[in-house]
Amino acid sequence: MNEKGLPKTLVLQQLMSRLREDFTYDSGQILGSMCTKPLELATQIYTTCLEKNLGDPGLFPATVKLEKEAIQLLGSLLSNPNACGHFVSGGTEANITALWAARNLSKEKRNEVIVPASAHYSFDKAANLLGLELIRVKPNERFQVDTAAVKREITSNTLAIVGIAGTTDLGIVDPIPELSEIAVAHELFLHVDAAFGGFVLPFFKELGYANLDFDFKLSGVCSITVDPHKMGLAPIPAGGILFRNEEIMKSVSVEVPYLAGGNTVQSTIIGTRSGASAVAVWALLTHLGREGYRAVVKRCMDLTWKLAEAIENMEEVSLVTKPVMNIVGIKSNGIDVHLLAQKLRERGRAVSVFPNHIRVAVMPHVRLVHVQSFLKDLKNIVKEIT
């Protein structure tokens, strides 16, 4: 660090110039990300609440109340207004917190967690941190977890089962009702990772799409990850962890006796925690309501079908599977998808690449013109390569 700092204007100038290297959501370049441009109202509120710290409830009692209310609103969206939980840094922290609770509730100190092979890598981190072992279960032909295989993997050492409502690679929804039955029958903790799907699936029935049950309506579901900073239109960081009831959450609670408000209890991994995130989510849920979010989902899904149809009409590439949510997996028989992704990137289009496919996430910031120019680029690249 230099002894003397630079003037504000110079710092800003430098910064703005350097940040130009970053991709932006508005430009239509970001096509593979599960995050999106936050709604302007949320950005405004977030920036005015930067000093609020949920780690010190005595200082920010109003923010604490707003977080609680927002969690209840989310709980009601997920069929349980009595759910409790917190806004955390993201889906990773939410998944870790869920398995932390499952582990603490196990009197027998069981340590195996059955996860779909499609589970996000945050579960590897959770297992590593918590001293748990992941038992991975292969998918069925529809890319969902094979529930017969889940049953076969259950032993006296099984602690929990994980189901995914919106897989990272393809946006697939596991058969959560079946997983719930299995969990109830074997008295196992069931965690649902709806980091992506939690703000999408609740609107499917009303929109006339396939109704996929995944939430607290299913009696076996103990906890749900649902991330406002993905399809919830919230600024980063905003992950969400919801528990079916207080008792589950209490298993990870720690008493903090010395803060300004007196004795408090904390049930999150981190201490100092963004109040701005929670307040921004409260504002989003209150402002958009079901109607607003439903419209967002409809727009994304309409665009998803358009993209999917166009891919189906191309010869050299095809869909991995019909999209369930606003995530499209594109594969090719003749072309290496890594080369395809690299060529797209050279044209300024950022997609995610999995071993056998490219992922396009049709997020709220993606517009029809973006999809059209992506398709044009894709066609040109395919012509150039083959």
Asked whether the beta carbons of 24 and 353 are under 8 A apart, the reply is no
Which residues make Cβ contacts (< 8 Å) with residue 132, sequence separation at least 6? 99, 103, 111, 112, 113, 126, 159
Distance CA 30, CA 350 (A): 5
Stretch that binds ligand 0PR, among 139-147, 189-197, 245-253, 339-347 (CB under 6 A): 189-197
Dihedral-angle region of residue 131 (phi above 0 means left; psi in -120 to 50 means alpha; beta otherwise): left
77: Cβ contacts below 8 Å, ≥ 6 apart: 198, 202, 285, 290
Closer residue to ligand 0PR in complex, CB, 57/364: 364
Q: Of 33, 80, 267, 332, which one interacts with ligand 0PR (CB under 6 A)?
A: 33
Task: Choose which of 29, 31, 34, 159 interacts with ligand 0PR (CB under 6 A).
Answer: 34
Min CB(289)–ligand 0PR separation in Å: 24
Residue 324 lies near ligand 0PR (rule: CB under 6 A): no
CA distance from start to end of the chain: 52
Stretch of 30-38, 175-183, 265-273, 292-300 lying at the interface with ligand 0PR (CB under 6 A): 30-38
CA dist 137 and 126 (Å) reads 17
Q: Should residue 122 be labelled a site residue for ligand 0PR when binding is judged by CB under 6 A?
A: yes
3-state helix, strand, coil in the chain (%, to 5): 40, 20, 40
What is the distance between the alpha carbons of residues 329 and 304, in angstroms, rounded to a whole number?
Answer: 11
Total of residues contacting ligand 0PR (CB under 6 A): 17
Q: Which of residues 219-248 bind ligand 0PR (CB under 6 A)?
A: 227, 239
Mask of contacts with ligand 0PR, 57-96, x by CB under 6 A?
---------------------------------xxx--x-
Choose the stretch contacting ligand 0PR; rule: CB under 6 A; options: 1-9, 70-78, 109-117, 193-201.
Answer: 193-201
Q: Which residues bind ligand 0PR (CB under 6 A)?
A: 33-35, 90-92, 95, 120, 122, 164, 166, 168, 193, 195-196, 227, 239
